[in-house]
Every structure is written in structure tokens, then in C-alpha cells.
Amino acid sequence: MPSSRKPSGPQRRKRPSKRRIILLSITSFISLIIAGLAIFVIVAAAGTPKWDPALLGDAKQSSYVYDKDGVEFALLHGYENRQTVEYSDIPDLVKKTFIAVEDKRFEQHFGVDPIRIIGSALNDIRTRSTREGASTITIQLASNAFIANPNDTKFIRKFQVKIQEAILALQLEREYTKEEILTFYLNKIFLGESSFGIQAAAKTYFGKDLKDLTPSEVALLAGLPQAPSQYNPYIHPDDAKARRTIVLGVMRDAGIISSEEYSKEKDAPFAYVDSMKESRGGAQKNQVTTASYKFPYFVDYVIEELETNYDLTPEQIFSGGLHIYTTVNPKIQSAAEAAFADSANFPQGINNTKVEGAITVIEPSTGEIQAMVGGRDYTPRGLNRAWQSKRQPGSTIKPLVVYGPAIEKGGYFPGTVLDDMPVSYNGGNGKSWSPTNFDTATKGWKGLITMRHAVEQSVNIYAVKLLDLIGVDYGWAFGKNNLGLPLAPEDRVLSLALGTTHVSTQDMVAAYGVYANNGVSITDHAIVEVKDAKGNIVISPKITKNRVMKETTAYIINSMLRSVVTSGTGVSAQIGNWAVAGKTGTSSLPDNLKSKTGNTDAWFAGYTPNYAGVVWMGYDSNPDLDKNGTPGPYYLRSVYGGGFPAQIWKKVMTAAHEGLPVQSKFEQPSGIVSGSFDTKSGLLPSSLTPSEFVATEIATQGSLPTRISDVWIQKDVDADHPNMLASPNSQNTITKTFLNLPNRDPSWTWPSNEAPYKLPTEFAPDPVTDEIPDPDLSPPKDDLPQDTSLPTPVLGEVSYDAKTSRVTIPIINLSGNDKYSVVIHIQRPGQPIGSIPINNSKGSLTFSLAINDKAPSPGSYYFRASFKDPKESKIGPSSNTVKLILTD
């Protein structure tokens, strides 16, 4: 029997196991997560926009644009390029392709595809991004029609939007059939270039009706919804082609097209797009009804930035009630527009075709675009040359891909010397390439010059040689990665130094702004903030700052470009006492116009510590060919960067700096040193360096030369033959200093400042080993017959006046001979004997040795004389020979 007795002592309470505690914790955690998710879903669902089928149509609200001071200056409103089509008019090829690409289970799901949504959400959580696409066609339609800001990239808000889109999609599926939903979608979807719906897009990209599209054209349209800007063939043809190829592959795998059709269509050209870019500069923009607002070129760029960088549709921009705050500076923008409206700032056009131009101005310290003008006559949403026209920059590229990289790399400084003489390189096409300077034909070669001089005078040979020294890859990478230039792989060639790539004024001003900002790159932008109609922030740009070069590099470039404006090709851009740095540039004519004199483009890029601006000038028309296929006339004549472009730059920048405290220099950072150097070697002066070739230059610490100049040598020359080296037995020698440049071709003409230092190559006759003809025995070199009946003159000692270059020689046996005139025979150094008639005045012969007012050169001069009867043409026997030696 069980005992009835109670326990006599206290019992220990049983502890819960560790496993039970863990299970309870996990259960509680999961419960909290579920509760939190439920609350999140409820809150998100509560915020779902009100169901309104009318929103599947149009609901418009004007947007407002503000300047940098928050003052409204433009009101945006308009209509979209929307062309609707009925379901029956949409080809099956289009329907099937869009379903295969965007929503392959469209016919089966109820508006929401749970598999896609779950997979997308998990991916977003894992990557902490919002890039994963999970939208069905129905969800995309709901988003476009009802969600105010479907492109919100905030992590939490993105999931709220997805929940709201799903709720609206379910409602759509209840109200409409699959055919109606697909029709709504294909008529409403934004496909880039202001085109809403597939019919409008077919016209925009192919100039065709929907029914006439080929498989490759349908594939392009079906690939656009994922990223209309990125895959726009007008702007990114390579990306568009790659995306089209992917879509064609989907079409092939889904059985919509055959493998043969895939192979045929994947390489189809963008013929219509190319023709529109050539004739109009891009696609036709249709959404703006008027352009009566201020600063239209700037506003156009703001619209493009909203579409391209922030994926806003034209419908949102023009009809979304947005408040768009921009960076435009009314003072600078107004000055730029006034400059472009003044025909005096442009050269005369040809055949009633105007010379066009563009300008972009930024504030380097903030990256804010202060002004932009894209042409002389504005066309609503037309070609904006300030950012759309990509032209060859000529010499304005040199500081960006040659001089800046060289200074940054180290070992080079503004006194680095290279030889401006003929040079040839392998052109890579089986031909040699021999660059020249713009003034080589008229002014000759410049010889040994410094980097500063090369920058000031825009010397091509120096730039090419320096790029070759630092490496094309290094210069190309510096321009692309450090300064943001849109350089392509094919630009990685030596001719890049002369500006053979293609850039816009916006590209160039952003790059030059880095130098003005002491080596710090800041994202250039035109938008400060965008708010929706309720005041919620829709866009807040992320502006990045990066130091992309040493501060000392920027200062050295600033110093050299300052010299361009003070004493080089850009002197016309000076603004009072302001520190102005700048660079001029022109681009060469194409090969078929090489016989002409002119250029296709003229540039001026300049900046102060406050603002940077770049001006381009040229024709829109192709300079290669006119409409008949013959060489066209549309190129610039006698228009250079330092002329009209610099003139416009100065006018705009003068207005920009009005009222600002003058900054007369760029701030010098630590790490800058200076020292004397030899301007013909770039090294330290030697004891032989002539004083005229010793100068002072700045450099980054560690880049000043440490070696002594080795280009100077001393040699003895024969005093009687000063243009010849002394022979071993020369009795009268002079020691002179020469440039020792053995690698120079003897046939090359030396520049005027080096010619006096050219080392002779011949030796003077040796008086011991060489037979020297006795001048006394040399017959007179004249054409007159000799009369031996005339007396023979006897000459005395020669005297010479160096100030007047006059020679006086007495005739000793004058008595009775003063009735005769005299012919003097002169043998100059290294020249044949010449004869001149001289009056016999009081027993002395006086005459000048100067030729064309130029003093006689050093050396030995021999003189003889003959009497001449004034009544006869014959002369008498020659006198004795007298000698005159002239030294330096």
C-alpha cells in the first residue's frame, strides 16, 4: 500500500530545461516578428491610395521650378506623347513578347505573383537594396496609375509601396479582364524619350506604326520598361543593344521567334535613331506646349536630369505638382543668354547657316551648375549643345590628360624641357603619324622649350611627346577616372593629347572645376531638391566629394594655366585683377579638307577661384560633306579659342564676379618649392649655361631637378673663320659656348634663340697642312677689262669704327693719281671676292662694311683696290692686300 505519510522536509522545485527556454524564446521572437509584420502590413495598407479608376486616364497638376535662391522662375505643364491603341490593333508579337519578358505567368496569377514577390523581398533584405524587380504587369499598371512616387528608394518605404501596389493590383484584377489590363498597361507604360505607350514609342524609336515593327524592334521596346534611360538607344546605344539581345533570347526560348530569326535580328542597326541624331540631334520631344518660361536651356537640362538620374516620367515632371529646386544663378544665366543673343560675339556664318555655340558654368566648390546655354536659338526640348553635342576639344584636353597626369605622377615640373622638333610615331594603321603645331608652317620649330611655355603657346609636339613619356594608359585613366571625362577605349592613343576624343561643355567644365577646387571632385548637378505637391521630399541628390589628385598638382596646373591668360594664347580672357586660369583649343579639319585653312571647333575653358566656365563654338553641320556629298563649307575660318569663345567667356564671367571680393591669386598649398633651372635642359644651371637661359620655376616637393645641365659645351673656333671650328694649328682662336644636341637632324632649322649656339660641323683650314691661296695672288673678281697703263695703288693700314661699321684705308701713292676713281675689292669671311666703286677723297677710301644695316660678322676681311679712269670702263692693276680682323 502506498504510504499516507506526508513528506517530512521541503522539496526542490523542478527547473525548466534549457531546451524549453530556447523554444520559448524563439516562439516569442517569431510572434513578435509576425505581430510587427502584421502591424507594418496594416499601416501600409491603410496608406494605400484611394481606388479611382479615373486615374487610369489623366490627372494633371503643374510643377514649379525655383532658382538657387528659392525664387520661382518657371512653371511646367504640357502634354505627353501618348498614342493609344485598341487590344485588337496590338500585334500578337508585341503581346507575347511583353508578357514573356515582364510577367510570364500573367495569364495564371490574380494580379500578384507570390513566388516573384517573396523571392524579390528576400533578395532585397539580403542585399539591403531595392533593385530586385518583382512586379507583375498588373502591379506595374497599378503603380503607374495610383502611386505618387513609385520610385522611392528608401528601404522601408519601398516595402510599403510594394504592399500598396499588391492591394491595388488585386482590385484591378477584380474590375478588369486580362485583355483590358494588358491594353491599359501597353498604352500607359513609359518607354523613355517622353513616349507613353508602345504606339508612341514605335514612332519615337523607329518612325513606324506598331503593326510594322520587326522582332528586333519589338525586343527593344520590351526591354525598355526595366530602365528606360539606361537602355535608350539615343543615349546609350551599346547598353540598348545588349538589353535587346537578352530580350531576343527570351523570345527565342519562349518560341515567339526562331533561332534563325534570333541570329538575324540581334545585330540589326538602330538606323532610324542614327538618322534622327544626325538630323535633329536626338528624338523629337513633344511634351512641352510652350517654352515661355525663363532659362529654357537650363530647364531642359533639369528635366533630363530628373528623367535620367532619378527615373521620373514626364507625366510626373509636368503633371505631378512637383516643386523643383535648382542651382541656376539668375545673374550668370541671364549674362550667358545675353552673350549668345548678341551676334557680335559670333563670326559670320556661311550660306545663312549660323555658327553655333554652347556654354556651361559651374561653382567648383559645390558642383552646382550655375548657367547653361545650348545654342543661339532655342527650340523647345530641342538640341541642347551644352551637354548633348560631343565635339573634339582640341588643345583644351591637354591639361586634363597630359599636363595634370604628368605633375601628379611626379618627376615633372613646369620647367621640364622637351624638344619641339619633327617627330613621327607609328599610326597603328601601317602609316606613320607626324604631328605638327598650328604655327609650324609660319613660325618654324620652337626647339627646346619648357612645359610652361608649351602650355602657354599650346604646343602640340611637346604635349604628344610628354604623353608618350608618362604613358598613354596613365593619361587616359587620369582623364577618365580622376576627372570624369567620357573617354572610350578607342581614345587610348597618342593623338588623345591633341583632343581627338569627343566631349561636351558640361564634361569639360566638370573636369576643369577639379583644378579650380584644388584637386577635389564634386558631383556636378542642377537639382538641389524636389518635393511633391504635399511638400514631401521626393528627391534629395547624393552629392559626393572625392580628392582625385594632390593639392600641389592642382596648384601647379593653376599656375601654368594662369600663364596662358597673362602671356599666352588666352590673354583676351583677362578680368581685371582676378586670378584667371584658362586654356584655348581648336580642332583640325578632316582629311578631305586638309588643303583648306580653318578648324571645326573652337573652345575656351577657364576658371577663377569662384567659377569655372567652358565655351564651345562651331557648326552643327558635318564639316566633311554637304548634302550633295562633296566637301562641305561648314567649318570655322580664322576662329580660335582665344578669340570669340574667350570673348563670350569674359563677358559672362565679368557679370558672374560683379560685386565679389577680388581674388588675385590661387591659394598656394604647402609642398610647393621653387628654384633656378636651365631653360634648355630643364636641369640645374651649369657653369656654361648662358644667363639668358637661367630662370626660376615652381615645382612640387621632390620634383625639382637635382642633376646639372649637360647640354652646353665649349669649343674653340677660328677667329678668321668664326663659323668653323679651330683647326689644330689655328693661330687665332676664340672659345665659344654651344648647345650639344647630337640627335637633332642637321637638316632641321633651329629657332632664332638657339641658332647662335649651333655647334659648327666644319673645321677651319689648317695653315700648316692645308694649302691656303695667297689673297695677294688672287685676281680681282669683277667683270671690267683691265688696263695696265693705269697706275697701281698702294694701300696703307686699315682703320675701323665699330659704332658705324665704317672702314678707312689711305692710298699712299696719291700724288698725281687723284684724277682717278677707285674700285675696292672685298673678300668677306667665307665669301667670294666682291667689288664696289668708291670715290677717291683726299687720299683715303671710306666705306661701310654693313649689309642691309646689319653689322658685319666676326672674322677676317681682305681689301685690294684698283684705279679706274672715269672716262673709260677699264680698271688698272690691283694694289697690295690689307687685312682687318673683327671679333665679337
Q: Output the CA–CA distances (angstroms, integers) from residue 62 to 59, 295, 309, 536, 637, in the order listed.
A: 10, 18, 21, 16, 46
- What burial letters (b/e) apply to 638-651, b meaning 16+ CB within 10 Å? ebbbbbbbbbbbbb
As a whole number of angstroms, the distance between CA 779 and CA 784 comes to 12
Residue 712: strand, helix, or coil: strand
Cell output for 125: 533584405
- 54 DSSP 8-state letter: G
Beta bridge pairs of residue 718 = 721, 733
Q: Strands, DSSP E only, in 213-316?
A: none
Contact partners, residue 325, CB within 8 Å, separation at least 6:
66, 70, 527, 528, 529, 530, 531
Per-residue 3-state assignment (H helix, E strand, C coil) for 681-698: CCCECCCCCCHHHEEEEE
| Catalytic hit among 195, 319, 389, 395 | 395
Rounded distance, CA 718 to CA 733, Å? 5
Question: In the chain, what's the furthest Cα-to-Cα distance?
Answer: 186
* 395 catalytic residue (yes or no): yes
Residue 546's DSSP bridge partners are 521
Contact 619, 593 (CB under 8 A): no
Q: Residue 414 to residues 302, 399, 504, 564, 653: CA-CA distances in angstroms?
A: 40, 12, 28, 13, 27
User: How far apart (Å, rounded) are the C-alpha atoms in residues 186 and 767?
Assistant: 103
Burial class (CB in 10 A: 0-12, 13-18, 19+), 87: middle
Catalytic residue among 102, 173, 265, 304, which?
102
Handedness of CA 519, 520, 525, 526 (dihedral sign): negative
Cα–Cα nearest to 495, from 401, 593, 601: 401
Beta carbons of 415 and 695 less than 8 angstroms apart: yes
Nearest to 607 by CA among 652, 567, 639: 652
> Can you read off the three cell numbers belonging to residue 681?
635642359
For residues 612 and 516, the answer to whether their CB atoms sit within 8 Å is yes
Strands 581-587 and 432-433: unpaired
Instruction: Name the burial class of residue 121, with classes exposed (0-12), middle (13-18) and buried (19+) by CB atoms within 10 angstroms of its CB.
Output: middle
One-character DSSP codes across 568-610: STTGGG--TT---EEEEEEEPPPGGGTTS--BSEEEEEEE-SS
Give Cα separations from 458 to 420, 445, 699 (angstroms): 12, 13, 20
In one letter, which amino acid is 810? P
Ramachandran angles phi, psi of 279, nearest 5°: -90, -35
CA nearest neighbour of 206 among 194, 218, 196: 218
* Cα 736 to Cα 677, 678, 857, distances in angstroms: 21, 18, 15
What does the alpha-carbon distance between residue 722 and residue 736 come to, in Å, rounded to a whole number? 10
Grid coordinates of 414: 613646369
What are the φ/ψ torsions at residue 823 (nearest 5 degrees)?
Answer: -110, 120
AA identity, residue 501: T
For CA atoms 636, 640, 643, 646, give the dihedral sign: positive
Give the chain's radius of gyration (CA, Å).
42
Residue 883 CA from chain centroid, whole number: 64
**Residue with C-alpha cell 514609342?**
201
Nearest 5°: the CA angle 450, 451, 452 is 90
Residues marked active site are found at 102, 395
